[in-house]
Structure 1
Amino acid sequence: MSVKNAQDPFATPLETFSPNDPLAETAGLKSDYDKRAYGEANPALIGTLEKDDIANRPIDAVEEVPTTSVRKWWVRLTWFTTWWIPSFALSKCGGMKRPDVQMAWREKFTICAIIFWLCAIILFYIIAFGRLLCPDYDKAWNESQLSQHAGQNDYYAAIRGTVYDFSKFYKGDHSDITNLQTSSDLMLQLAGQDLTEYFPVPLTVGCQSLVSDTALALLPTANNTPAIAQAVHTSGPLQGDASSKLHNVNWYPDRFLPFAKKLKKGYYVYSKKDIENQGQWRQWAIINSKVYDISDYLNTVSIYQTNPAYSFLDQSITSLFKQQAGGDITGDFESAMSQFNETYRGATQACLDNVFYVGKTDFRDTPRCEVQNYLLLAFSVLLVTTVLAKFIAALQLGTKRTPEQQDKFVICQVPCYTEGEEELRKTIDSLAGLEYDDKRKLLFLICDGMIVGSGNDRSTPRIVLDILGVDPKIDPEPLMFKSVAEGSKQLNYAKVYSGLYEFEGHVVPYIVVVKVGRPSERSRPGNRGKRDSQILLMRYLNRVHFDAPMFPLELEIYHQMKNVIGIDPAFYEYILMVDADTRVEADGLNRLVANCADDSRIIAICGETTLDNAEGSWWTMIQVYEYYISHHLAKAFESLFGSVTCLPGCFSLYRIRSSDKGRPLFISNRIIDDYSENRVDTLHKKNLLHLGEDRYLTTLVLKNFPAFRTKFIADAKALTSAPERFGVLLSQRRRWINSTVHNLAELVLMPELCGFCLFSMRFIVFIDLLGTVILPATAVYLVYLIVTVATKTAAIPYISIAMIAAVYGLQAILFLLKRQWQYIGWLIIYILAYPVFSFFLPIYSFWHMDDFSWGNTRIVVGEKGNKKIVAGTDDEPYDDTMIPVKRFSEYQREVWEEGAAPSIRSGMTGASGPFGNSQAILHSGPPSLYKAGSAYAGSVAGSDYGQGLGDYYQNTNVIQKPVHSRQASAAALSQMGGSQAPSMVFGGTPSMYGMPGMGSMYGMPGSSASMYGMPNPMMNSTASMYGMPPMLPNPLAVTHSPAGSDIGMAMPLSQQNTGSNIWAQQDGAAAAAAAAAAAAGGSGMGARPVSTYSALNASNPFAAAPVPRALPINDASDPTDEEIKSSVQTYLANQPSLMNVTKRSVREALVGAYPNADLSSKKQMINKAIDDTLSGGAQA
């Protein structure tokens, strides 16, 4: 059975809820509110529902989700890998009862198997593959390599093509010749050399069939004459000392060779180039890759020409050595040997091998042995080139420029979970103290559930509200909205607080959204995760942009931003996402915004994040260098391509809409739809959306807007807290590593990344992905490398050492050039902890890839074809129609035209509903039509939201009600904004004074209607926190109540305008436009406002900021510098206030004053003229 959601939440039509709805009597429900919130289920039974209780309303009971082809192939591979592991074993032994949990384990096992085989293949290729192709690669030494083994404990020498290790032999006296002793000093003179001439073989032994005279001996040439004559081991009859063992003619084959065999290390080799070069003075040649040197033989024959006994080799053989000295004579030699009989051939070959053999050609130069090195070299060059490119990208030297002060509206979003008071205060204070216009930044804090963090004595929302100074008595009504979750958890409730936060002279507006959850939630009520908090704001701004129907919570946020804070939410152009444990430096936000303002194609940008607790513990110290290099190498390099693949959630700025046509970017439906996926039932989705939501958000931005850029700038800095305990670090890195693997896998398949083939971001992403999964192999190979080099069991791997030197050497050059001397120590600490980062943490992370809380709301029962998802027995019914939606423009117009009605549950106490507020009941004022005050306040003067009277949208009929009397209205103050004593301004910071009208919260004289103590506007409109009227005043306000506006704050009668023209302060065009907008509903949602102060003034005709006065038109096509300076002075002198004048506005005024001139080349001169004028240097 397939059941789909009834309606899309973005397109749900407005519904009218009647108190006489017959469904309200179903299941014993007392009100339409209860019915709409809980469906057919009785709230008293929430949490104990069985299948039979919801049988009549099978909402999301069974869903069939189509499976993609990629998923089908992956499932096949998973089963192919784990077919030998029966499901009952996972159930019985592993405790995995559910099929979806078992499937996730199988997927994890498959991924770990793939990673294992990748690591094994890498190690096999680097370590073993070369040995298989060239087994004796590390058992050969040439002349230069042999000379390196000439130490006291490293004594190598070559004799007749074989290398021996005499390290333990040379130190003793081994001579048995009378009056001839050896010493270690004498022996050391021969270390690392070819000692063939020091061990002559008797010719009767070496060439038995060719020589019979024991007196014959070869005379060495001048180049082969031994330097130390006493070291020559002459054996046989030619040995003068008859008592020595050397006097035995068979000493060499019978005694020396068996002894030397125990000391054998490898082969003595010559390169073909060396053989050819030395062939000019040596009569030697190559025969079947063996090198034979008959120089001494030819020298002896030339001396004893008259004695034929010395010419025991056939002339056809010796002539080859003479004619082709230094060459390969294999072919000619075999041809010559074929002329002899078998006996002579054998005797000649044995003679050459025993007496004239000196070594082999260097087989390491053959393609069989070289292919491995060339492939490794190619990969190494590729990787080193990448590292070098990253180094060049990070090498951005120069002075740190301070950008011009920006005027864009920015929302600073801070998701809060279990942080402590110190961390939260640090973050909030850093945002409040940013060097950015306070009126143009909004602190938007979202508390993810009623959670008490470890070590805290209060819940996180309470800590946040106490920091902001919100009175604990203020308890707004929880409002419904849809969360990113599964099953019934999609229905969530949240409270909204707003006000002003003062910090070191800064006064910053804030909004706090506290997710409290449904009444039935007992464990972590309201908690839905960081992704839900991000989606809450993104979806809200999306609906503001399109004037789409909103959830009750979103309507309340809209009201607080527009009518309480006094800034239309459509003005905001950027979202700064900051974690609750991050401290942003004062100029950080302005630098990020300045870069985005300079390049309209930047959709997101991040700054450098360093550690705030670098010396907190050993575990924080090992992370310092990693944080530094990950920004200055990886992100700086990716920023060159405009494709930073990971924008950290702790400090990133996103562009809400495009600067040209106002098209939604970060809040586009494409990103929100993909990011708000609530069916997270596979291992891949779990890792993307539950572990790496910040990184996946960057992936979605790159995927949906490939023409835009994601950038990194090092000048904008923030400090964050790193885990100080190993357990916390382990948990954090498990999330980071696994999310990195799955996100990079997504990016590799993304065709929109820039570049092509090896010169593309996709290739870089693939290298990063491969480097991440083979981290354990890297650690193992480094250990192998260290052991090999230390023990000298193999040749030094220069390629690997060069790679390591390039990687860390370039990194060291980077921070040395930037004069970051402290990172020398941090680099050493990081290297010491390399096994932790490269081996232990990845291994742990990969194996715990399926370590999730799966819940019981959705159970996957099939993977073949379409996947069936069945509601769990503990899941409550949910449908999108449970949450009413309404456009803010429609709601505001209804309130203006009809006035707000009391609760439909007249006579019911505030404590009787599921969100009853006993505080509101205790402090409620005299009974009246408005139930004690404003419909939006969080205090006793609050709305039905603020009281315990249920949900405003569920319990209020928006029908016209007559005003009973001036006294009653004055007692209740304003239905949408009044305040009783003490003043609780819209659920935000209470007044410092106990009586209205005594002054503002900052001690300045003024009415109680303004938090700044500024007098209210003459109109009865909603006063903002800045003492300004709202974006769109109510043209009908004066007809409702002479004592207080229905949508404004209460004012003394002396300040009220009872009958004057509400557009009196506007000129004709502006008044007509504003009146038309108010008549249409006051939203102005059809046009996108620009984020400038002039736009704000256009929407707010009563703003305190005056309109800049224009310059007279000058038709000159090339004005002089003096004329321009005079125009600058005139413009600045005519402005009633310089508080709102910027250099840009002055330049724009000059462009308008000189329409025929090109002033772009005079920008610096104009800026200097402005500075001179303001400083008094240009005065007459």
Structure 2
Amino acid sequence: MPYYTQVTPACGLSLGQEFLQEPYQKFIFYVYGRVSHGEEEVPPSIQEPFQTVRPPPPPPIFGSFSSSTCSFQSSISQEDAKPPYHPDTELKKVSRSLLRLQKYSLILGFVSINAGFIWALWNYHHYWYIFLPFLAANTFCQVIFAISNTIAATFTSLRRKLGFKKDVIPENPEKFVMVLPCYNEDRQEVETSLNSLINQQNIDEHPRLIMVIVDCNAKAPGEEVSTQDFLLNDMFAGGERIEFQNGYSARDGFFMPVTIQQGKYRGVPYIIIGKKHNQGKRDSLCFVRSFLWHYKNRSADISTMFNPDLFDYMGSILTDNGLDTIDYLCGMDGDTVFDDDCVYELIKALRRGGPNVVGVCGAVLVKFDEKPWGWWNLLQNTEYNLTQGLRREFQSRVSGKVNCLPGCCQLIRVQDATFGDAVLRERFGHVPKPNDTMTQQIMGVYSEDSIHASIIFSRHPKSQTRQALRARAYTTAPQSWSVYLSQRKRWALGSKSNEFVMVFRPGIIWVERLCSFITVTTWWLGPFVVAAMFGFAIALVRQGKKIFENHIMIGLMSVLAFRYLYSLLIVTWFPHNRMARIRFLVGFFIYLTCSPFMNVVVTIYALLHCDEFSWGKTRASVGDENGAGGHGALPDPEQAAKEKFNEKMPPV
């Protein structure tokens, strides 16, 4: 029986009428054939090239109409299926609103508290001693630092001269990796930094390797190619290269494509790790530090961030170059230059400290290459000298808790207390959630060096850190207000957030807890301190010699004078040559006259922009005038997800 005799048309027409003319006949044959034979093919007897023909809709089931009535057509189209809102976008908006609310709350509190203190001081200046704890706490701390440093330095020097304390040199020289994180440094900066590593003296017996890790393909201003391109294809041309589409799990949870190149640069073995996407310096540090710890520990049967093939490949490179274990990690930045004996001095200081000392930092100074007497260079160089010569020296000699190991000049032991997963992955590499507080957001982006140290002190209270002032490293200072404010905003928000958290962190010794509290309080009351300075100057003019009849006032002024005298005497032992001493003296007077007001300006600027997590113009790349993102800020997670999903990256 023919197939068409089993079909009844919807309009009630007989199969012999025009309803079964083309293209309805083919359509009915096709439908019936599919139904009768399941999903099998239509019988060969009715297979015709009609599949591409789109028949009109069937006629309605009610009534009998002519063929023209049953063939209704329209030109409408259906919209794409989409949700009423995008969860990630809405979550981002809510996060921005929460951060903005916290920012305005901080600004309101800052203005209200300082205005209240200034009003009270102006109207009740006869009770000035009530305000003394807020005004003099930081000065008294610095006086204690100065006295303690003098006693500790004298005691240590006598012990060495009398032979009670000698340097212990291990039988087997330590093996270490020198790490150079890069982002958008230009060719000259990177080459100068690399050459300073190659030219290090007194470390020839130490097996070592240079590890350069480059974040994405950012270009420096004036460069035709990205930093990663000229490193792989020019500066380190000729090395063995391999690419991993899935190299490791980045901070954002996605797999990171990585290019690995190995070889020798002026006789020293190297590894270049080129990351395809920008995940910030902290992600790069997590990669290198976690790799070195798991390599030294010979971790087995555990889950790590690394693709096993990449881990084995990099481990084989280290083994082939005589680095069967790694004792130290030496860190520097792409725009930093080491003195010729910098690494040796770091190693010597770490040896002297003993096994409890897990890290050492060097003395960070300003490069005066382009502007030997530039105003910005002199100011920042003096600030470096004062910071490292006072509180950080106290932390090194007395408390043993240097709370910041600058990434541009550091030497850290590779062990569980420093690079273990509990410290590195769970705490240091933590990515803030959209609903986290302002403090957590700031600590997830800025001041990774001080945050790393505070985590070590909290989880491993017996661990100590030191400072080696003879290990000198030179870096670039900002040369304009915009760059200066951008840099100081990151420093102020990052360091003060970390100091604030250290007040409450478990495992922090009471001395550092108290110093952190005083530091945060003094920073918060900056305008009040400046107003008090003006008030004291006015009182000195009005009362003249009478003010010196108050013995308490004389004592306070003596304490203040001692603080500045000690700061000035740093010129006798910290600067390493005559030119450095002259520059310190010139910068010291600039610092005295400008720093109180500049600190207030920086504080206000930092609070006004505390919800903008980027590097500003400090690390602006070509094509990114605002510098948003930078080598430290977290990239837009939504955009990163789109890019990486589009690439269809394979799983491990």
TM normalised by structure 1 equals: 0.41
Please name the residue that 1:481 is paired with. 247
- Residue by residue, what CA displacement relative to the aligned partner does 1:366-394 show, whole Å, maximum 9, x if unpaired? xxx6xx43x45666775444222211344
Match of 1:461 in 2: 228
Aligned counterparts, 1:396-411, within 5 A: 396=153, 407-411=173-177
| Alignment of structure 1 residues 524-923 onto 2, 5 Å | 526-544=277-295, 545=297, 546-547=299-300, 548=302, 555-556=309-310, 558-563=312-317, 566-567=320-321, 571-598=325-352, 599-613=354-368, 615=372, 617-639=374-396, 640-657=398-415, 663=416, 665-681=418-434, 682=436, 683-755=438-510, 760-790=511-541, 796=547, 798=554, 801-816=557-572, 821-822=581-582, 823-852=584-613, 875-876=641-642, 884-885=651-652
CA contact (8 A) 2:439 2:497 kept: yes
Partner of 1:508: 268
Unmatched 5+ stretches in structure 2: 1-78, 548-552, 616-635
Partner SS for 1:644: coil
Which AA in structure 2 matches 1:495? T
SS at match of 2:445: helix
Secondary structure at the counterpart of residue 717 of structure 1? strand
Q: 1:495 aligns with which of 259, 275, 286?
A: 259
Residue type matched to 1:464 in 2? L
- 2:97 aligns with 102
* Structure showing the higher helix proportion among its residues: 2
Structure 1 pair 776–849 and aligned structure 2 pair: CA distance change class (3 A): same
SS of the aligned residue for 2:124 comes to helix
* Structure 2 CA distance for aligned equivalents of residues 685 and 749 of structure 1: 14
* Mapped partners of 2:455, 2:603: distance in 1: 25
CA distance in 1, matches of 2:422, 2:359: 17
3-state SS of 1:477 partner = strand
Distance apart, 1:459 and its partner CA: 0.7
Name the residue aligned to 2:43. none
State the 1:651 CA deviation: 1.1
1:1100: which partner in 2?
Answer: none
- Distance (Å, rounded) in 1 between the aligned partners of 2:136 and 2:439: 33
For the 8 Å contact 1:393–1:633, the answer to whether it is kept is no
Letter in 1 for 2:374: S
Q: C-alpha displacement at 1:704, in angstroms?
A: 1.5
Structure 1 residues 452 and 794: CA distance shift in structure 2, 3 A = farther
Q: For residues 728 and 594 of structure 1, what CA distance do their matches in structure 2 show?
A: 36
DSSP-derived class of the 1:690 partner: coil
Query: In 2, distance between residues paired with 1:62 and 1:97?
Result: 6
Matches within 5 A, 1:1039-1078: none
Q: 1:121 to 1:675 in 2, by over 3 A?
A: same
The one-letter amino acid paired with 1:510 is Y
The answer to whether the 8 Å contact 2:362/2:470 transfers is yes
Shift of 1:456: 2.1
State how far apart, in whole Å, the 1-side matches of 2:381 and 2:639 are. Answer: 48
Asked if structure 1 preserves the Cα contact closer than 8 Å seen for 2:189 and 2:335, the reply is: yes
What value does the CA root-mean-square deviation take over the aligned residues?
Answer: 3.7
- What letter is aligned with 1:847? L
Change in Cα spacing, 1:420 to 1:403, as seen in structure 2 (3 Å) is: farther
Describe how 1:1136-1147 pairs up with structure 2 within 5 A: none
Deviation at 1:62, TM superposition (A): 8.4
Contact in 1 for aligned 2:244/2:258 (Cα 8 Å): yes
Q: Match for residue 206 of structure 1?
A: none
| 1:385-404 alignment runs, 5 A limit | 385-395=140-150, 396=153
The alpha carbon displacement at 1:565 in A equals 6.1
Report deviation, 1:597: 2.8
The answer to whether the 8 Å contact 1:420/1:460 transfers is yes
Secondary structure of residue in 1 paired with 2:243: coil
CA distance in 2, matches of 1:695, 1:561: 29
- The aligned counterpart of 2:626 is none
CA change 1:732–1:812 in 2 (3 A) is same
Q: Provide closer, same or farther for how the CA distance between residues 557 and 428 of structure 1 changes in structure 2, counting only shifts above 3 A.
A: farther
Q: Cα offset for 1:446?
A: 0.5
Counterpart amino acid of residue 451 in structure 1: A
**1:529 Cα deviation after fit:** 0.3
1:419 to 185, 194, 218: 185
Deviation at 1:114, TM superposition (A): 2.6
- By how many angstroms is 1:511 displaced? 0.7
1:195-594 mapped onto 2 (5 Å cutoff):
372-373=128-129, 375=130, 383-395=138-150, 396=153, 407-435=173-201, 436-437=203-204, 440-465=207-232, 468-471=235-238, 476-486=242-252, 490-502=254-266, 507-516=267-276, 526-544=277-295, 545=297, 546-547=299-300, 548=302, 555-556=309-310, 558-563=312-317, 566-567=320-321, 571-594=325-348
Structure possessing the higher relative contact order (Cα contacts under 8 Å, 6 or more residues apart): 2
Q: Tell me the distance in 2 between the aligned counterparts of 1:814 and 1:882.
A: 56
1:597 is matched by which residue type in structure 2?
R
2:504 is aligned with what amino acid? Answer: L
Describe the shift of the 1:554–1:572 C-alpha distance in structure 2 as closer, same or farther (beyond 3 A).
farther
Distance 2:314 2:191 in 1: 23
- Residue 464 (structure 1) shift: 2.7
Paired with 1:551 and 1:54, the residues of 2 have a C-alpha distance of 34
**Change over 3 Å in CA distance of 1:447–1:589 after alignment to 2:** same
Alignment identity in percent? 20
Structure-2 separation of matches of 1:583 and 1:715: 14
CA distance change for structure 1 residues 381 and 618 in 2, over 3 Å: closer, same or farther?
A: closer
Displacement after TM superposition at 1:774 (Å): 2.0
Contact 2:210 2:268 survives alignment (8 Å): yes
Q: Which amino acid aligns with 2:401?
A: S
| Deviation, structure 1 residue 465 | 3.4
Q: Determine helix, strand or coil for the equivalent of 1:510.
A: strand
Structure 2 CA distance for aligned equivalents of residues 61 and 481 of structure 1: 29
Deviation at 1:494, TM superposition (A): 1.1
Cα 1:836/1:423, change in 2 over 3 Å? farther
> Could you list the runs of 5+ residues in structure 1 that have no partner in the other structure?
1-49, 64-90, 132-368, 517-525, 658-662, 855-869, 886-1180
Q: Distance in 1 between matches of 2:545 and 2:249?
A: 61
Q: What CA deviation, in whole Å up to 9, does each residue of 1:407-458 have, x standing for no partner?
A: 1111111110111222111111111112213652211111011110122222
Instruction: Please tell me whether the aligned partners of residues 481 and 883 of structure 1 are also in contact (alpha carbons under 8 angstroms).
Output: no
Q: Distance in 2 between matches of 1:535 and 1:741?
A: 23
Secondary structure in structure 1 of the residue aligned to 2:444: helix
The 2-side partners of 1:595 and 1:834 are apart by 32
Residue 123 of structure 1: which of 87, 94, 118 is its match? 118
Give the drift of 1:592: 2.0
Q: For residues 128 and 593 of structure 1, what CA distance do their matches in structure 2 show?
A: 57
**Superimposed CA distance per residue, residues 173-227 of structure 1 (whole angstroms, 9 cap, x where no aligned partner):** xxxxxxxxxxxxxxxxxxxxxxxxxxxxxxxxxxxxxxxxxxxxxxxxxxxxxxx
TM-score (norm 2): 0.71
